[in-house]
């Protein structure tokens, strides 16, 4: 057991989540590396100091270069806007420091490629924060697919749908401008990452992307970005697929959901009931077949150890704690962790292909 | 109240369902026209006689022309293979007799067009048998959309998925050969009809159609038809859509399911729980919003009158009885009924467009 | 195949349901006995004639004695108020005619005992109409319990809850007066019958019965009967049980629901989703255990034969058709049918015990 | 913001959960009091030192008296076996230190009474750890009941059922001996606490308690304690109720579930899907009524602040963090917190009454 100095860049929503996770992960998982909340960075000195006190860091700064360079910082967590990801990561890798970066990896595919290259050159541990895939249920789904429990996969349908922009009279905010902030940049990465993790590479796709509310109040003539999108695809293994994304999906709160059909079984999952995985086995006796609702528990991967039995339930914060555990473990053992920057870049590639396909109205090979 | 002589062509699965429905509909709905089971037609005299006795018809025949021409036959129900639909319908219309035809309307788009023309020329009542749309839940969904309860529709996702061919070692049957018998000809019509009924015309689509099990035992070198398909679309009103179809959807038994997203609410339905419609209303007070499970009952359209309260439940046969009621009522009042042959032809048009799109890998306008 | 003349006493809700069932049952199940709707009886000549026309009977009468005595009537269906059940059944048995009687069997336990005695003396086929137990799902549940699939039963919880009287400002009707019309007389019989059928005899019970809305408008000083009740029990096999009943269960429409826990598995059912049975098997591999939702289909008992695959769905009317089939089959083969009058009387015994227990505040042995 | 020295007695399951919660609570809720993990106590020096390192405490001890007396310990968390609760609490109160005690409060009703008395004499903050009631969903249910949203409550049904002892061949452990360790002592307190919190005091009850597996291997003639129990009750407000408890409920993992029926609505909850509350409102327009599934979110009480939107999900550990927040807040503001020791004692009273009722087979007044 030894301490490791953690620096977190960004003190907002995700910065807080990672701060809490770093506080708790040692006790939860009895990790060998024990995070010391060394420094937090925010846009102003005042806000940084506020976050420092609130989250329990030793020091605060408004200069991320200062944080990255500090000798007591042994690992960097990037939770700042995506435009800043590349420069921070490159600086950290140049100093040989491991980096955890919130999704999406880069603001552009070019950024992501540069970040992957920098990570590889440095040999440092690198990881992207696709937290939703880290529920015990989704990790279990992955195990089931890989083990062949449901046979060869023939169909995948995934969605990430929410309704935080479903009210078209809500004034435009920064989220509504710029391709990177659109639904394809904000929500799509999560489910594309899931598709790649659960099924494998996408071979080709045909996409349709749109803007339901193009005239939000306050848009002032600026072009409002995409709030809805979908694509059909074929995976490398031939399976057919469909993914859809929306921030105007009235009634959907955390519609990160998928169904996987195989030749011997099928899986269903919906993050709105994140402690259950539905499994159908075609080799059950006829008359006894049905989708069974499996409550995740100690038998499944990544279940929190103090939740004695199944069904006690994990939540959003627990996903972040799992990420922290895996990041620390990778640093400790100098091993590759999933999803790496490379995995994050693959997600960017799919998004770029989807934009190209939607623009031209054709299928695009990847 | 007066009797009407009914002739049914085809004694198998759907012929039986319509025979039972015609026996029961008068008592159930107290219809003005009361069906008299006058004649049933099957491929051989022996089978026809068997059906006659079993279902309670007065007479039997193996010649549909004989049935259609018989003066005591006042209305014709076509429940024979789709290749026969056109000739029978044309003969009946030529004699001024109303026709109910099982879906899909014609074996080809050309057939369907001819049947619509014949119907229009004759002025006879004509109706297509898309039974699944006639649940109280789906009729209620239609009412909700039309009344504006969920605002402007922005997204529709529908599927008709079953798993009766999910076992790839099952030998090929007649169902596995010929485009008309494929999943796009067999299952897709139901959900396309639903999409048209619930949202309106489709403006353009991009499709992908495939065969998961191309090498079934017994195929003997013949090309196995499609067992899976999907298309993205835009409706005439601009709403984005996605429809998918499969007979290899392991675990799905009656996966006739859809979700409709509107600016003020959303609807969800799954035929596997056909007595419930899920409704979300965006104007409920914040904190009290959620999808509500409405059990269909006397407040909703087409609920069976002897089911006193909600939740008593209707089933497959009840859908057919509703069809019989509407067909009789249209004959009685000489009014147009939905879905008419024209509606059936529109479904054929969409299927033809999907095939063309999948073949060429492009979007197709309708 | 031969005809059998059917007489139905009562033309209201259940009389209609049985009329429709008798019209349809022959075609649906290809029964050997084919019902001929011979005569219907209602309280006045006018109403009887109305029902005759609506349901398709040959003759009508306002005198049930006339119906029972008519030589063309070969089987009697009692769908009249429970006070009339005994006299009608005794008259029919005296003439050697089989009787189907709507639940509850007798208005009192004494009536029921007399009816069982008359049935036994006559040797006639006799059957009680507990329709809800005849869903494929509940028949399948029975099979599973009997076959030992879930091991020894250790716990049963059942309820029959609806909300048709949940509005306390609704004026009192005949339903609100008299013990026989209370919730214990109206709803409890269904679930008690289910408990006896699924688990076996009840050894002792402790009940609590109450009236939530004792002051309905229009009660005019008359005592309003019970609208809610429950009892704990021990079954003969030692299993613990609980049953509850309510007509004031806000939100419940057809809350005929039960859970059965065994040493090797468990079953759950809710009539509001009557086409599904939930089964948990303790011998599934750890990590793969969960309640599976089995959609009833051709593999299960009493699934309607023209519903080709699972999930097509049966409904309320189908339950009545199944009853008609079993009644006809028992007449044809001169065999005992379940539930017989004896089974109906056992339900009355439990209800009487519950009233006694609630009154005295003690456990009562049966 | 100031530090407060925390001492936790017990390092096992719940001791760990509280340690993690105390590490995280400051950052999560930005609490004014910030816990300092000062000392942990376990049965041996070795185990205490192991917990110290694992959870991040400053010091360790095997003597709880030492911990309680230490001047740097400003608040005590009792997570040791229930036999020890009374002595520890009394010692802490004698020194004027606030106490959080795991449920059940005392090993006996007498113990609980003494603990309440000691708490009152001392004037110290005191709180019992009924964690399951602290989900946003259950706190929201409480709000809905109190605000009259569902009208007057007429019926409550609750259960706490699990299946960790459903295998009767599992050898007996300490859990299987002694009344305090039985299902009535272990699981019942959670749901009784919920009933009291949601509905109010229980006026009288009639109970049945049993042992399904009385002959576990390894029991060696010792009497195995209760593994199943239930009681009917009347609440002080007249509402009828039923509670059941089981550790042999095959298939149930976290069956902490309840339904509340009111004159204007109804509520349903099941901890196995802890992020949803089901609400039915009788004043919705007829035809639009149904149970709605409300996903808890920022609009509801006790939702974790970094979970931006509804549906992100909270889990088991989050409940413990909420408890920590409320305990700290009560200390900070010197206010009473719910559930207090008095509330815990009330739960003991109900359990004692249930045992008495089951033994005598009579209703018992409280």
CB contact under 8 A, D307 and A295: no
Q: Does residue B179 register a pLDDT over 80?
A: yes
Task: Give the per-residue pLDDT at B81.
Answer: 92
Give the single-character DSSP code of D132.
Answer: G
Residues of C in contact with A281 (CB under 8 A): 288
Domain spanning A2-132, CATH class? alpha beta
Contacts D150 to C, Cβ<8 Å: 250
Q: How far is B52 from chain C (nearest CA, A)?
A: 10
CA-closest candidate to residue C265, choices C291, C247, C285: C291
HEC profile for B310-337?
CCCCCCHHHHHHHHHHHHHHHHHHCCCC
Three-class SS state of A42: coil
* pLDDT for A121 beyond 80: yes
Q: Could you say which of A20, A276, A306 has the minimum Cβ distance to residue D27?
A: A20
What distance in Å separates the CA atoms of residue D41 and residue D34, rounded to the nearest whole number? Answer: 20
Report chain C residues touching chain D, CB-CB < 8 A: 150, 154-155, 157, 163, 166-168, 206, 208, 210, 212, 228, 230-232, 234, 240, 242, 244, 246, 248-252, 261-266, 280, 282, 289-291, 361-363
**Quick one: DSSP state of residue D348?**
H
Binary contact (A292, C291; C-beta < 8 A): yes
Which residues in chain A are closer than 8 Å to B163, comparing Cβ atoms? 282
Q: Searching chain B, which residue's CA lies closest to the CA of residue C298?
A: B253
State the distance between the two ends of chain A, measured CA to CA, in whole angstroms. 44
Q: Residue A274's closest chain D neighbor by CA?
A: D313
Which of A5-14, B4-13, B172-181, D306-315 is the least confident region? D306-315
Q: Which residues on neighbouring strands pair with residue C205, listed in sequence order?
A: C233, C364
What pLDDT score does C302 carry?
A: 83
CA dihedral C54, C57, C61, C66 (to 10 degrees): -160
User: Going along chain B, which residue ranges are E strands?
Assistant: 2-9, 33-41, 59-61, 75-78, 99-102, 126-129, 153-161, 202-210, 228-235, 240-246, 255-262, 265-270, 276-281, 291-295, 364-365
Can you state the angle between helices A13-29 and A45-55, rounded to 10 degrees? 30
Mean pLDDT of D135-146: 97
Closest Cα partner for A287 from C309, B115, D29? C309
Q: Partners for C (CB, 8 Å, 3+ pairs)?
A: A, B, D
Cβ–Cβ of B292/D289 closer than 8 Å?
yes
Q: Which residue of D has its CA nearest to C259?
A: D249
Task: Tell which of A288, A299, A300 to mutate to test the C interface (max C CBs under 10 Å).
Answer: A288
Q: Which pLDDT tens digit goes with each residue over D158-196? A: 999 999 999 999 999 999 999 889 999 999 999 999 999
Q: Is the pLDDT of residue D13 over 80?
A: yes
How many CA atoms lie within 13 Å of A189's alpha carbon, on the beta-carbon side? 26
Q: Give the global pTM.
A: 0.97
Of B56, B307, B316, the CB nearest to C27: B56
Q: Is the pLDDT of residue D213 over 90?
A: yes
pLDDT at A306: 66
- Are the CB atoms for B101 and B341 separated by under 8 Å? yes
Phi first, then psi, for residue A297 (nearest 5°) are -160, -165
pLDDT tens, position by position, A296-319: 999 998 887 766 678 889 899 999
- How many B/D residue pairs have CB atoms within 8 Å? 48
Is beta strand D2-9 parallel, antiparallel or unpaired with respect to D75-78?
A: parallel
- Rg of chain B, C-alpha, whole Å: 21
Mutate to test the interface with C, among A287, A303, A311 (most CBs of C within 10 A): A287
Q: Which stretches of chain C score pLDDT less than 70? A: 306-308
Closest CA to C60 of C71, C46, C49: C49
**Closest chain A CA to residue B159:** A157
B279 chain-D contacts, CB cut-off 8 A? 288, 290
> Which spans in B39-100 are helix H?
45-55, 64-69, 85-94
Q: Which residues of A touch C (CB under 8 A)?
A: 140, 276, 278-281, 284, 286-295, 297, 299-300
C251 to each of D155, D262, D278, D290, D291, how far by Cα in Å?
12, 10, 11, 7, 7
Helix (H, G, I), strand (E, B) or coil at D256: strand
- CB–CB contacts below 8 A, C to D: 106
Residues of B in contact with A250 (CB under 8 A): 150, 261-266, 280, 282
How many C-beta neighbours within 10 Å does residue C154 have?
28
| C-alpha–C-alpha distance, residues B206 and D219, integer Å | 68
Which of C337, C327, C296, C318 shows the shortest CA–CA distance to C28?
Answer: C318
The pLDDT of residue C309 is 79
- Report the distance separating Cα A101 and Cα D357, nearest Å: 61
- pLDDT band of residue A18 (cuts 50, 70, 90) is very high
CA–CA min distance C328, chain D (Å): 38
Is B290's CB within 8 Å of D294's CB?
Answer: yes
Cβ-proximal residues to A274 (8 Å cutoff; 6+ apart), any chain: A135, A137, A254, A314, A315, D275, D313
Q: If you measure CA to CA, which chain B residue comes closest to A284?
A: B251
Indicate the average pLDDT of chain C: 95
Of the pLDDT bands very low, low, confident and very high (cuts 50, 70, 90), residue D306 is low
Report how far residue D14's alpha carbon sits from residue D40's, in angstroms, rounded to the nearest whole number.
12
| Per-residue pLDDT at B133 exceeds 70 | yes
Closest C-chain CA to D357: C362
Note whether B253 contacts C27, CB cutoff 8 Å. no
Nearest to C263 among D157, D168, D363 (CB): D168
Q: C274 and C148 in contact (C-beta within 8 Å)? A: no
| d(CA A357, nearest CA chain B) in Å | 11
What's the pLDDT tens digit per position in D63-97?
999 999 999 999 999 999 999 999 999 999 999 99
CA distance B352 to B362: 14
Q: What is the pLDDT of residue D305?
A: 72
| Integer Cα distance of D52 and A90 in angstroms | 38
The pLDDT value recorded for residue B70 is: 98
User: How close B27 gets to chain D, by Cα (Å)?
Assistant: 26
**What is the predicted pLDDT for the residue at A303?**
82
Residue C246: both structure tokens together: 């309510």
* Residue of C13, C273, C274 lying closest to B306 (CB–CB): C13
Q: Which of C239, C248, C261, C290 to mutate to test the interface with D (most CBs of D within 10 A)?
A: C261
Looking at domain D136-310+347-360, does it have CATH number 3.30.360.10?
yes
**Predicted complex ipTM:** 0.95
Q: Confidence band (pLDDT; 50, 70, 90) for B1?
A: confident
d(CA D231, CA B167): 50
What's the confidence (pLDDT) of residue A67?
Answer: 98
CA of C265, closest CA in chain D: separation in Å? 6
The residue of D139, D290, D293 whose CB has the most chain B CBs within 10 angstroms, and thus the best one to mutate to test that interface, is D290
The contacts of residue D38 (CB under 8 Å, 6+ apart) are D5, D6, D7, D57, D58, D59, D70, D72, D73
Average pLDDT over residues D123-138: 96
Judge: A295–D317 Cβ closer than 8 Å, yes or no.
Answer: no
pLDDT at residue C311 in the model = 85
* Contact at CB, D287 and B293, closer than 8 angstroms: no
Which chain C residues have a beta carbon less than 8 Å from that of A278? 290
pLDDT band at D307 (very low <50, low <70, confident <90, very high): low
The SS3 call for residue C51 is helix
Task: List the single residue in D with minimal CA-CA distance to A314.
Answer: D315
Nearest neighbour of A295 by CB, restricted to D16, D272, D317: D272
Interface test with B, best of A157, A231, A250 (most B CBs within 10 A): A250
CA distance B44 to chain D (A): 49
Q: Using the predicted structure, report yes or no on whether residue A323 has a pLDDT greater than 80.
A: yes
CA-based nearest residue to D136, from D307, D319, D3, D354: D319
Domain positions in chain A: 2-132, 136-310+347-360
């Amino acid at each position: 057991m030894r301490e490791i100095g953690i620096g977190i860049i960004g003190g907002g929503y995700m910065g807080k989540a990672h701060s809490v996770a770093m506080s708790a992960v040692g006790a939860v998982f009895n990790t060998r590396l024990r995070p010391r909340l060394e420094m937090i960075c925010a846009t102003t000195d005042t806000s940084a100091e506020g976050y420092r006190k609130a989250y329990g860091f030793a020091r605060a700064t408004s200069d991320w270069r200062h944080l990255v360079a500090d000798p007591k910082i042994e690992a960097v967590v990037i939770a700042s806007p995506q435009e800043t990801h590349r420069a921070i990561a490159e600086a950290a890798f140049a100093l040989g420091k491991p980096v955890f970066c919130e999704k999406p990896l880069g603001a552009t595919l070019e950024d992501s490629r540069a970040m992957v290259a920098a990570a590889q050159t440095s040999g440092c541990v690198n990881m992207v924060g696709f937290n939703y895939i880290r529920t015990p249920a989704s990790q279990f789904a992955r195990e089931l697919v890989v083990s062949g429990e449901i046979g060869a996969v023939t169909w995948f349908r995934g969605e990430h749908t929410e309704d935080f922009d479903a009210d078209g009279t809500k004034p435009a905010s920064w989220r509504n401008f710029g391709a990177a902030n659109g639904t394809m940049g904000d929500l799509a990465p999560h489910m594309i990452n899931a598709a790649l993790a659960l099924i494998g590479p996408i071979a080709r796709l045909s996409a349709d992307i749109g803007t339901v509310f193009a005239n939000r109040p306050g848009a002032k003539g600026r072009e409002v970005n995409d709030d809805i999108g979908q694509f059909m695809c074929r995976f490398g293994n031939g399976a057919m697929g469909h993914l859809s994304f929306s921030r105007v999906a009235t009634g959907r709160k955390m519609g990160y959901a998928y169904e996987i059909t195989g030749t011997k079984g099928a899986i269903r999952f919906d993050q709105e009931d994140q402690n259950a995985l539905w499994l159908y086995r075609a080799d059950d006796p006829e008359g006894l077949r049905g989708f069974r609702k499996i409550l995740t528990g100690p038998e499944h991967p990544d279940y929190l150890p103090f939740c004695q039995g199944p069904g006690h339930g994990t939540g959003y914060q627990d996903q972040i704690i799992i990420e922290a555990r895996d990041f620390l473990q990778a640093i400790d053992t100098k091993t590759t962790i999933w999803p790496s920057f490379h995995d994050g870049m693959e997600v960017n590639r799919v998004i770029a292909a989807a934009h190209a396909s939607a623009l031209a109205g054709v299928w695009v090979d990847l």
